Amino acid sequence: MLTETCKCGLRTRCGIPEEIQPYLFKEVMTTKKDGSGLELLPCKNIIEGNHQGKFWFESKTGEGTSFFFSFPI
């Protein structure tokens, strides 16, 4: 099976601290008082559950975070 990997354009300047990274795809996760914490979980569920793709991120504290996804073609 071939896959097409797409790099999403979301990148933060500061990176996500390592202690928070394991919680990014949990049902409710936010570090902001006005955030819902639901933004990443539906993305992961749709890409991986509905389309047999993969959704992941790479982050370095102080450098930034990039999100990626791939789909079988």
CA pseudo-torsion sign 28, 33, 34, 39: negative
Compute the distance between CA of residue 61 and CA of residue 51 in angstroms, rounded to an integer. 31
CATH number of 3-72: 3.30.565.10
Q: Tell me the pTM.
A: 0.70
> Taking CA 26 as the corner, what is the angle to CA 24 and CA 32, rounded to the nearest 5 degrees?
55
pLDDT in tens, 10-50: 666 788 888 888 888 877 656 666 655 557 888 899 999 99
Determine contact, residues 2/70, Cβ cutoff 8 Å. Answer: no
Distance CA 18, CA 37 (A): 17
Q: Where are the domains of the chain?
A: 3-72
